């Protein structure tokens, strides 16, 4: 009876146990939370379907597997260690490794399991899949980041907008300033234009009212302006000549002498006289018009010298007539005095001789002056006739020196005459060249103080013979040097020494030399002396120049 009773109790216990096992299994199977039981050494002993689902391992595959095969080793080791030490952990985030090698973020909680004897026999491990949460978190983070980016973009856009606005404002300001500056410039330009207009009008008024004629040629040598005076000179109208070249102006008779003189290239010249027609002599000056170093045209100034020429002609005529009229009685006086002095008219006393000699010298000077005046008149009237023949210039020089030998000795001057062994002859008018050399030598002797030195040097240059007449005389003041070759010029220091000179010698000399195709110039320093140079061409045949 007792045994039966015990057997019945055992049966009931076994049934309870079976029910309990069934209950536990059903509960485990039902649980949506993945759960597993892990042994104390880390082997999976139990797993539920939810665990099977998340891990991809079938329950029978998971059971017996080391737990580190299903989780990231370092992470699960930390979980195991913490569980064994503390008895549990809650919500630790680790990563589960699925069968197909995926990594799933999970939150794990554990609970230590012990036997009745208190020995650790393992722990329960429950998982919570964080994939969706992580995704949601990532999505939220992404959206936050997007929002942040958008915000940043918006801020940047705002900043840019502000910058743009500021930039636009700045540019508007700049434009406004630029506009003002431009307006100012325009005002200035307008003012300048008005000024220029006024200046132009003034200039035009001056040009139009100028007594001289003006012709302006452009860069291409064509007439761009002609003033009323020039129109009057040539008897043309502006529209007839503007745009025409100098050669095209040849069609107008009155222009022809000008064209011949200036040539097609409009040669530069200064105050050259040209006979245009009866009662019209013009003095022509052509000047290049230069701007910033570049020629942009030519200005032709036409000065009417008809009246001056007429006066000059009348003066020359008067001088010529007077000289001629005076020379005859002066010659008579000269020869009469000579006769007295030579004793042809009887004995004269010493005192009478001295007076007569003085009169004779004065008469000589008078004759010389008259000759000079006649020469000048001839030169100016173009009647100074040259008769060139081959001449030995050294001989002419020597002869001239001989004429002044007495004077040189009287003033105790040292005279040096240098010449090469041989010199070619030149074509020259002996009389005129002698006169030129005389004038130069006479000046050198006259204006050199006693004891001084006069030197004549002849040299053959390439195609010419150069004459040099050097003295140690009083020199020509610097400020007077520009007038040396003009008529009746005498330097003040020269007049102090000698009151006898006519001031015509160098004018005549220059004309003679130039008429022979030569050149004349000088170097002088007041108080030290003067050097006159002139050249005569060797081969050139001198022809009548006037």
Partner 1 sequence: MPPELTKEVAQKLMEIKGEVRGVVFKTDAEYVLKEKGEEGLKKVEEELEKLGYPIKYKEIKTLNYYPVGLRIISLLTIKKVFDFDEKKIEEMGFFATKISLIPRLFIKYVFSFSKIFFEQGPRIWREHWTVGELIPVELNEEKKYAILNLKSFTLHPIYCSYLKGYFSGLFQRMVKSPKITCEETKCTFRGDKYHEFLLKW
Binding site for partner 1 (CB under 8 A): 14-15, 17-18, 21-22, 39-43, 45-46, 59-60, 63-64, 66, 115, 119-122
**161-174 burial by CB neighbour count: b if 16+ within 10 A, else e?**
eeeeeeeeeeeeee
Closest to partner 1 by CB, 38 or 214: 38
DSSP notation for 260-295: HHHTTTT--EEEEEEEEETTEEEEEEEEEEEETTEE
Instruction: Round to whole Å and give the CA distance between 268 and 255.
Output: 17
Assign 42 to helix, strand or coil. coil
Closest to partner 1 by CB, 7 or 362: 7
Instruction: Round to whole Å and give the CA distance between 521 and 387.
Output: 24
Query: Smallest distance from the beta carbon of 127 to partner 1, in angstroms?
Result: 20
Positions of E strands within 306-452:
389-391, 414-418, 426-428
Closest to partner 1 by CB, 18 or 345: 18
Q: For 253, which DSSP code?
A: G
- Put the strands of the sheet holding 529-537 in their side by side order: 414-418, 453-460, 464-471, 529-537, 520-525
Closest to partner 1 by CB, 31 or 468: 31
Closest to partner 1 by CB, 66 or 221: 66
Query: Smallest distance from the beta carbon of 16 to partner 1, in angstroms?
Result: 10
Closest to partner 1 by CB, 83 or 229: 83
Instruction: Round to whole Å and give the CA distance between 70 and 95.
Output: 9
Instruction: Round to whole Å and give the CA distance between 283 and 259.
Output: 14
Q: What are the CA-CA distances from residue 421 to residues 401, 460, 495, 540 (Å)?
A: 18, 11, 39, 22
Closest to partner 1 by CB, 78 or 392: 78
Cβ neighbours of residue 104 under 8 Å, at least 6 residues apart? Answer: 54, 95, 96, 97, 98, 129, 130, 131
* Paired residues of 520 in beta bridges: 534
Query: Smallest distance from the beta carbon of 95 to partner 1, in angstroms?
Result: 21
Query: Smallest distance from the beta carbon of 145 to partner 1, in angstroms?
Result: 43
- Put the strands of the sheet holding 88-97 in their side by side order: 44-47, 35-38, 120-129, 103-114, 88-97
Evaluate whether 515 touches 542 at the Cβ level (below 8 Å): yes
Ramachandran sector of residue 243 (left: φ over 0; alpha: ψ -120 to 50; beta: rest)? left
Alpha carbon of residue 36 to chain centroid: 97
Closest to partner 1 by CB, 44 or 397: 44
Query: Smallest distance from the beta carbon of 138 to partner 1, in angstroms?
Result: 35
Assign 395 to helix, strand or coil. helix
Instruction: Round to whole Å and give the CA distance between 167 and 157.
Output: 14
Query: Smallest distance from the beta carbon of 75 to partner 1, in angstroms?
Result: 18
225: phi then psi, degrees, rounded to nearest 5: -155, 140
Q: Which two tokens stand for residue 183?
A: 């307006």
Closest to partner 1 by CB, 112 or 348: 112
Number of neighbours of residue 460 by Cβ within 10 angstroms: 14
Query: Smallest distance from the beta carbon of 78 to partner 1, in angstroms?
Result: 18
* Paired residues of 390 in beta bridges: 427
Query: Smallest distance from the beta carbon of 37 to partner 1, in angstroms?
Result: 8
Assign 390 to helix, strand or coil. strand
Q: What are the CA-CA distances from residue 231 to residues 109, 163, 234, 338, 484 (Å)?
A: 124, 70, 5, 62, 37
Closest to partner 1 by CB, 66 or 228: 66
């Amino acid at each position: 009876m007792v045994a039966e009773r015990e057997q019945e109790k055992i049966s009931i216990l076994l049934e309870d146990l079976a029910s309990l096992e069934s209950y536990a299994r059903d509960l485990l199977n039902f649980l949506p939370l993945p759960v597993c039981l892990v042994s104390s050494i880390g082997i999976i002993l139990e797993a539920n379907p939810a665990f099977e689902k998340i891990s991809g391992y079938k329950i029978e595959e998971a059971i017996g597997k080391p737990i580190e095969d299903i989780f990231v080793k370092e992470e699960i080791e930390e979980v195991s260690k913490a569980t064994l030490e503390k008895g549990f952990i809650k919500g630790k985030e680790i990563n589960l490794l699925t069968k197909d090698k995926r990594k799933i973020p999970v939150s794990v909680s554990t609970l230590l399991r012990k036997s009745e004897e208190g020995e650790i026999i393992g722990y329960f491990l429950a998982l919570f899949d964080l994939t969706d949460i992580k995704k949601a978190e990532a999505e939220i983070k992404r959206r936050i980041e997007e929002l942040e980016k958008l915000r940043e973009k918006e801020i940047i856009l705002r900043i840019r907008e502000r910058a743009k606005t500021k930039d636009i404002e700045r540019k508007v300001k700049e434009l406004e300033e630029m506009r003002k500056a431009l307006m100012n410039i325009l005002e200035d330009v307008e003012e300048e234009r008005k000024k220029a207009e006024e200046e132009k009008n003034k200039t035009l008024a001056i040009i139009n009212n100028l007594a001289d004629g003006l012709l302006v040629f452009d860069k291409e040598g064509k007439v761009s302006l002609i003033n009323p005076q020039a129109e009057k000179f040539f008897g043309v109208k502006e529209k007839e000549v503007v745009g025409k070249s100098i050669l095209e102006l040849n069609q107008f008779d009155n222009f022809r002498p000008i064209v011949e003189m200036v040539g097609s290239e409009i040669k530069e010249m200064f105050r050259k006289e040209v006979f245009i027609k009866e009662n019209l002599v013009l003095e022509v000056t052509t000047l290049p018009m230069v701007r910033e170093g570049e020629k942009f045209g030519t200005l032709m100034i036409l000065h009417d010298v008809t009246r001056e020429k007429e006066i000059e002609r009348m003066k020359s005529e008067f001088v010529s007539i007077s000289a001629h009229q005076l020379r005859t009685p002066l010659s008579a006086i000269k020869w009469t005095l000579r006769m007295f002095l030579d004793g042809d008219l009887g004995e004269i006393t010493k005192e009478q001789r001295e007076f007569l000699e003085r009169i004779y010298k004065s008469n000589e000077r008078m004759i010389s002056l008259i000759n000079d005046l006649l020469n000048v008149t001839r030169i100016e009237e173009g009647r100074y006739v040259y008769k060139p023949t081959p001449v030995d210039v050294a001989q002419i020089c020597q002869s001239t020196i001989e004429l002044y030998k007495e004077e040189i000795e009287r003033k105790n001057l040292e005279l040096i005459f240098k010449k090469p062994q041989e010199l070619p002859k030149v074509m020259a008018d002996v009389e005129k060249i002698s006169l030129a050399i005389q004038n130069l030598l006479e000046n050198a002797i006259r204006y050199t103080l006693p004891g001084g030195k006069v030197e004549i040097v002849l040299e053959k240059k390439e195609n010419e013979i150069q004459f040099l007449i050097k003295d140690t005389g009083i020199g020509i003041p610097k400020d007077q040097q520009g007038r040396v070759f003009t008529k009746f010029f005498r330097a003040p220091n020269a007049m102090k020494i000698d009151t006898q000179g006519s001031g015509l010698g160098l004018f005549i000399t220059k004309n003679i030399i130039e008429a022979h195709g030569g050149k004349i110039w000088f170097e002088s320093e007041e108080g030290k002396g003067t050097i006159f140079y002139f050249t005569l061409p060797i081969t050139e045949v001198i022809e009548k120049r006037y």
